[in-house]
Amino acid sequence: MIIDRLYRMAFPAFVRMDAERVHRLALGFLEVLATVAPAKPPRRQVALEQPLWGTLFPNPIGLAAGFDKDGEALGAWPRLGFGFAEVGTVTPEPQAGNPRPRLFRHLAEESLQNAMGFNNEGHQALRHRLGSARRFAIPVGVNLGKNKTTPAERAQDDYLLQIDALSGLADYFVVNLSSPNTPGLRDLQNREFVEGLLGQAVGLTERPILVKLAPDLTDAAALDLALHAVEAGARGIVISNTTTNYALLPGSGPPGGLSGRVLTRRSREMLRSLAPHLLGRALLVSVGGIHDGDEAYRRILLGASLVQAYTGFVYAGPGFARGLQHRLLERLEQDGFGNVREAVGAGLEGRIRAGADEGRVP
């Protein structure tokens, strides 16, 4: 595609500019593209389709939260080959986020570091955009956070208010308790808060509610939390958000969370550890350092029904999701799967190896 070539040509210039400025430019470009290019339905790949929570996902590759926080370029994502998009994190009131600069590249490691702090236009603006644009070919999830100024005792209200207001407009919700950039947010990753919130939230919407976890929890703590969330009504777990384990990238340090290739192993191993206990009880969404179709396939073998990417997309450019689609189709065929559903979790049952040497066990 021509925009792939343009992206590759412009990349060296982009990396000399402030990362957030490039992100704004890209989003603006995609918004225009989505408006002027004729809307045509994405080419069907039946082997990649899955009905999940009563909604048809045309393929399992999603845009991760944080890229299109305010739903500005919703029409662009299916055109680029994404099978779903997650907007947000959105908060009840608009907020500016942390001071700039707050987005940094670690080029050699194909990683990013962000300390954005939920900069967004607020849930009313998103509501308006989603309401005026329900013509997307793909499901849209809404990732929810709390305002920085909301004290912990009232955090629950921030989530409930938004679920109530956006219920008819989202295909699924994600309760984000795992961003490292809102002080105190990760402290809400506890049983009591999650149970209290989910208990009320499920009564407000028919749509599935998922919980997104930090990769910095121990596997045991993450599993305990996930199981309680599912018990309280969560229908999916998103593994994982960015990491503050700076040891993964020597020379890095606060503020903010790391994403991209430095996160690949931790995000994958967290999935491998949690999935056997959660499969059949909740759907799993794997995100963190997915940069190619082989890694996406690995996550599916390890139990993820859906995968998402942010940083891989930034480094690869507009052809990213189509490239992953292509590779997933190849891998499914090689391993004799008729469709992606058959492959979900196959690596956990010993039929398939899901490591660097994955493939059918002879």
Ligand X SMILES: Cc1cc2nc3c(=O)[nH]c(=O)nc-3n(C[C@H](O)[C@H](O)[C@H](O)COP(=O)(O)O)c2cc1C
Site for ligand X contains 65 (CB under 6 A): yes
Shortest gap between Cβ of 237 and ligand X (angstroms)?
A: 13
Site for ligand X contains 162 (CB under 6 A): no
Among 227, 270, 290, 344, binds ligand X (CB under 6 A): 290
Site for ligand X contains 252 (CB under 6 A): no
Per-residue mark of binding to ligand X, 192-221 (x: CB under 6 A): --------------------x---------
Residue 288 or 345 with smaller CB distance to ligand X: 288
- Annotated catalytic, 286? no
Among 287, 307, 343, 352, binds ligand X (CB under 6 A): 287
Residue 64 or 270 with smaller CB distance to ligand X: 64
Site for ligand X contains 170 (CB under 6 A): no
Shortest gap between Cβ of 238 and ligand X (angstroms)?
A: 7
Site for ligand X in 303-332 (CB under 6 A): 309-312
Site for ligand X contains 112 (CB under 6 A): yes
Residue 242 or 337 with smaller CB distance to ligand X: 242
Shortest gap between Cβ of 65 and ligand X (angstroms)?
A: 4
**Three-state secondary structure of the chain:** CHHHHHHHHHHHHHCCCCHHHHHHHHHHHHHHHHHHCCCCCCCCCHHHCEEECCEEECCCEEECCCCCCCCCCCCHHHHCCCCEEEEEEECCCCECCCCCCCEEEEHHHCEEEECCCCCECCHHHHHHHHHCCCCCCCCEEEEECCCCCCCHHHHHHHHHHHHHHHHHHCCEEEEECCCCCCCCHHHHCCHHHHHHHHHHHCCCCCCCEEEEECCCCCHHHHHHHHHHHHHCCCCEEEECCCECCHHHCCCCCCCCEEEEHHHHHHHHHHHHHHHHHHCCCCEEEEECCCCCHHHHHHHHHCCEEEEEECHHHHHHCCCHHHHHHHHHHHHHHHCCCCCHHHHCCHHHCCCEECCCCCEECC
What count of residues does the chain have?
A: 362
Q: What residue number has its CB nearest to ligand X? A: 66
Residue type present at position 210:
L
- Nearest one of 96, 15, 84 to 50, comparing CA atoms: 84
Site for ligand X contains 59 (CB under 6 A): no
Site for ligand X contains 263 (CB under 6 A): yes
What does the radius of gyration of the chain's CA atoms come to, in whole angstroms? 19
Residue bearing tokens 């593209």: 33
Site for ligand X contains 62 (CB under 6 A): no
Shortest gap between Cβ of 22 and ligand X (angstroms)?
A: 11
Residue 47 or 215 with smaller CB distance to ligand X: 215
Per-residue mark of binding to ligand X, 38-57 (x: CB under 6 A): --------------------
The active-site residue out of 111, 132, 167, 179 is 179
Site for ligand X contains 176 (CB under 6 A): yes
How many Cβ atoms are within 10 Å of 132's Cβ, its own excluded?
9
Residue 127 or 352 with smaller CB distance to ligand X: 127
Q: Looking at the annotation, which residues are catalytic?
A: 179
Residues that bind ligand X (CB under 6 A): 64-66, 69, 88-89, 103, 112, 114, 116, 118, 143, 176, 179, 212, 241-242, 259-260, 263, 287-290, 309-312
